[in-house]
């Protein structure tokens, strides 16, 4: 027991030593990326695969674990590349401080290394599409917010592109309804006439809701099961 406590104390001394802090942020970033990726992907894959995929129980379990591992690996690997790039870029400045564009460059490097090179990986595609959608919403907010408004932490707040207050309020009031309506109009059109281009999990979900609901041959297949 004493030896274990000694090892624990020695390890704690190391991880609390400031000179190891930068290196250990890489380890913690990998850890957090893996944990978060597993938590997000596992329940999603479990539901989607067991509901919409054919195959044996063993095959479905393997697909769930494979998707979870891929998501966790991607986020953990990206955290390593991004944080390592940030440390490197910071070390190239005379002051040793982060520059305004360092996060963009580090994200560019991490995005290429982890997500960009395998264009047929559905898990990577889903992550990138999710991120892209969030960026679009964030940029839309920045465009209409007055300069500096909404600032939190180290953020810079709005860009104030629209200076006319009446126009700004009109855009804010109607922006989301237009965006939501056009998004659903576009996805339904593409699913109806070009379903092969829709991401497989989304295509399966939409087929279940909008196509399978057109067919039944008994009360059982109308209420309980699809035909």
pLDDT tens readout for residues 107-127:
999 999 999 988 888 899 999
Mean residue pLDDT across the chain:
90
**Looking at the predicted structure, is the pLDDT value of residue 153 above 70?**
no
Strand-pair partners of 15 = none
Residue burial 30-63, b: 16+ Cβ < 10 Å; e: rest: beebbeebbebbbebbbebbeeeeeeeeeebeeb
For 107-136, b/e burial (b = at least 16 CB within 10 A) is bebbeeebbeeeeeeebbbbbbeeeeeeee
Backbone phi and psi for residue 3, each to the nearest 5 degrees, phi listed first: -65, -40
What gap in Å lies between CA 95 and CA 30, rounded to an integer?
27
Note the pTM of the prediction, 2 decimals: 0.82
Per-residue pLDDT for 150 more than 90? no
Q: Is the pLDDT of residue 170 over 70?
A: yes
Distances (CA, A) of 151 to 16, 21, 55, 135: 32, 28, 50, 17
d(CA 31, CA 75): 9
The predicted pLDDT at position 91 comes to 95
Integer distance in angstroms from the first to the last C-alpha of the chain?
Answer: 63
Quote the pLDDT of residue 51.
84
DSSP 8-class letter at 164:
-
Which tens digit of pLDDT belongs to each residue from 11-49?
899 989 999 999 999 999 999 999 999 999 999 999 989
Query: Which SS3 state, helix, strand or coil, does residue 97 take?
Result: coil
Task: Supply the pLDDT for residue 154.
Answer: 64
CA distance 174 to 144: 12
Q: Say yes or no to pLDDT of 152 above 70.
A: no
Within 13 Å and on the Cβ side, how many CA atoms surround 184? 5
């Amino acid at each position: 027991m004493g030896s274990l406590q000694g090892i624990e104390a020695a390890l704690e001394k190391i991880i609390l030593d400031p000179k190891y802090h930068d290196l250990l942020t890489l380890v913690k970033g990998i850890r957090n990326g893996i944990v978060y990726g597993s938590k997000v992907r596992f329940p999603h894959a479990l539901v989607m695969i067991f509901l919409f995929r054919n195959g044996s129980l063993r095959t479905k379990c393997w697909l769930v674990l494979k998707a979870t591992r891929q998501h966790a690996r991607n986020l953990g690997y990206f955290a390593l590349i991004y944080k390592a790039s940030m440390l490197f870029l910071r070390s190239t400045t005379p002051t040793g401080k982060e520059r305004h564009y360092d996060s963009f460059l580090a994200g560019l490097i991490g995005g290429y290394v982890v997500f960009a090179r395998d264009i047929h990986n559905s898990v990577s595609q889903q992550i990138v599409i999710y991120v892209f959608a969030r960026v679009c919403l964030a940029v839309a907010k920045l465009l209409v917010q007055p300069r500096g408004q909404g600032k939190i932490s180290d953020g810079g707040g709005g860009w104030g592109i629209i200076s006319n207050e009446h126009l700004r309020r009109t855009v804010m009031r109607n922006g989301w309804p237009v965006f939501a309506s056009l998004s659903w109009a576009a996805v339904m059109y593409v699913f109806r006439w070009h379903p092969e281009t829709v991401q497989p999990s989304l295509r399966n979900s939409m087929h279940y809701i909008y196509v399978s609901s057109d067919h039944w041959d008994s009360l059982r297949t109308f209420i309980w099961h699809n035909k």
